[in-house]
């Protein structure tokens, strides 16, 4: 058993990329619980950073594949035994891949760590801790954090564990100068507030940033009702009135198609039919792939093409 682990660790650190890749693929399949005690011994004996990070990675894969809570708890308990920022950072990222742990609250202190990388990774890992204590810690951090990427990262974790208690703090972010922050706030508010915050999503359609408008349209598609028809129609009319420069990679996720899918829910509404007609007349301003999607998926455009 020990020889196998030593060999796997060597291959994970091999100079040849192909050997390393195969070793990591093998590591991701580990599910033999008899390895755990040997991993524990090796962790306590390890002195080199890369050995420790590799061992913790292996233990994490074992925890993921076996779904054994005690292994996840062991990893979290080991945080207090490590001082290297590299090891802590790596461990916290590994922990973020787990689905549950009974002692996840022990991650909270690391969101205040002196090292920015450790703090960032701890915020990501905190999605394991679905508790009011964790949510409060993130909201407290949000009041003092000024770095854009860190604020967006906090929003991402609140997206996973936040409750309606987070709504006020997230709404304040809509006044940020950063479009990235405003966009992240809308996405997180949509996950937490759902149908209750439709007016917030509608207001966000007036934001100067296309990123924020896009998230607002996604939120309205998921949780909006008839109240959003008029503002969505106005947005669609504006978008199709001119040619756009850059086509999105995934056409199903383009702003115009998400908006039209929302309107299609109310296909018999007079204003929706008028908007569909405007889109058809301006179809030359759509990307070819968008026109094809509309022909394939929305009855109104299928009928127009047959006429």
CB 182 within 8 Å of CB 207: yes
Q: Of the candidates 140, 142, 196, which has an alpha carbon nearest to the alpha carbon of residue 164?
A: 196
177-223: per-residue pLDDT in tens?
999 999 999 999 999 999 999 999 999 999 999 999 999 999 999 99
18-47: per-residue pLDDT in tens?
999 999 999 999 999 999 999 999 999 999
pLDDT at 237 over 90: yes
- pLDDT at site 244: 85
- What b-and-e string marks burial along 157-169, b requiring 16 or more CB atoms within 10 Å of the CB? bbbebbeeebbeb
- pLDDT at site 307: 77
- pLDDT at site 81: 98
**Mean pLDDT throughout 114-141?**
98
Sequence ranges of the domains in the chain: 1-128, 130-224, 228-307
Q: What would the two tokens of residue 44 be?
A: 């306590």
Using CA atoms, how far apart are residues 146 and 128, in angstroms rounded to an integer?
A: 24
- pLDDT at site 250: 59
Residue that the structure tokens 């940033």 belong to: 209
CB 200 within 8 Å of CB 173: no
pLDDT at 251 over 60: no
CB 137 within 8 Å of CB 108: yes
Q: Is 304 exposed, middle or buried (0-12, 13-18, 19+ CB in 10 A)?
A: middle
**Mean pLDDT throughout 136-155?**
98
Could you give the residue ranges of the DSSP H alpha helices within 224-287? 229-240, 255-264, 270-281
CB 50 within 8 Å of CB 87: no
pLDDT at 248 over 60: no
Looking at every residue in the chain, the average pLDDT score rounds to 96
Give SS3 for 22: helix
266-301: per-residue pLDDT in tens?
999 999 999 999 999 999 999 888 899 899 999 999
Domain 130-224: which topology?
1.25.10
């Amino acid at each position: 058993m020990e020889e196998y682990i030593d060999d796997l660790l060597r291959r994970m650190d091999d100079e040849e990329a192909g050997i390393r890749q195969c070793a990591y693929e093998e590591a991701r399949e580990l599910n033999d619980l008899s390895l755990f005690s040997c991993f524990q011994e090796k962790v306590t004996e390890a002195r080199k950073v890369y050995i420790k990070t590799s061992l913790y990675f292996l233990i994490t894969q074992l925890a993921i594949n076996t779904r054994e809570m005690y292994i996840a708890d062991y990893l979290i308990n080991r945080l207090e035994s490590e001082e290297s920022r590299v090891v802590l950072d790596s461990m916290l990222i590994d922990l973020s891949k787990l689905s549950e742990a009974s002692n996840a609250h022990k991650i909270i202190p690391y969101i205040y760590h002196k090292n920015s990388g450790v703090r960032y990774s701890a915020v990501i890992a905190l999605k394991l801790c679905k508790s009011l204590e964790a949510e409060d810690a993130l909201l407290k951090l949000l009041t003092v954090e000024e770095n854009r990427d860190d604020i967006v990262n906090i929003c991402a974790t609140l997206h996973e564990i936040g409750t309606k208690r987070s709504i006020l703090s997230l709404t304040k972010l809509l006044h940020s100068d950063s479009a990235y922050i405003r966009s992240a706030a809308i996405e997180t508010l949509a996950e937490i507030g759902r149908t209750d915050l439709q007016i917030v999503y509608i207001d966000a359609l007036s934001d100067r940033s296309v990123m924020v408008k896009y998230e607002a349209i996604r939120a309205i598609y998921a949780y909006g009702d008839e109240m959003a028809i008029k503002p969505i129609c106005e947005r669609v009319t504006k978008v199709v009135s001119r040619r756009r420069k850059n086509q999105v990679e995934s056409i199903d996720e383009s702003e115009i198609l998400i908006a039209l899918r929302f309107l299609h829910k109310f296909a018999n509404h007079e204003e929706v039919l008028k908007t569909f007609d405007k889109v058809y007349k301006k179809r030359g301003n759509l990307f070819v792939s968008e026109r094809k999607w509309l022909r394939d998926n929305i009855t109104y455009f299928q009928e127009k093409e047959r006429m």
